Amino acid sequence: MLNEIFLSTLPLVAAAQDPQAAAAEVRHYGIEVAGIRVGTMTATRQAPAGPDVTYALVSDVKVNFLFYHLKIYYQVTNRFRNGQLLLSTVEAHTNQGDFASRAEWKGDHYDIVADQYKHHYRATETQPIRYAVTNLFFGEPPAGQARAFAEYFGDYFALSRGPAGRWQAVRDGREDEYQYANGQLVTIIKKNPLKNFVIRLLPE
Q: What is the pTM of this model?
A: 0.86
CB 100 within 8 A of CB 107: no
- What is the CB-side half-sphere exposure of residue 43 using CA atoms within 13 A? 21
pLDDT over 60 at 8, yes or no: no
pLDDT digits (tens, 9 = 90+) for 74-106: 999 999 999 999 999 999 999 989 999 999 999
pLDDT > 90: percent of the chain: 73
Per DSSP, the residues of 73-85 read: EEEEEEEEETTEE
What local confidence, expressed as pLDDT, does residue 158 receive? Answer: 98
- Above 90 in pLDDT, residue 195? no
Convert the pLDDT of each residue in 150-193 to its tens digit.
999 999 999 999 998 999 999 998 899 999 999 999 999 999 78
**Confidence label for 21 from pLDDT (cuts 50, 70 and 90):** very low
Element (H, E) at 3: helix 2-9
Task: Give the per-residue pLDDT at 175.
Answer: 93
Exposure b/e, 187-203, CB count within 10 A at least 16 = b: ebebbbeebbbbbbbee
Tell me the average pLDDT of the chain.
Answer: 89
Q: Output the DSSP codes for 138-178.
A: GSPPPTT--EEEETTTTEEEEEEE-STTEEEEEETTEEEEE
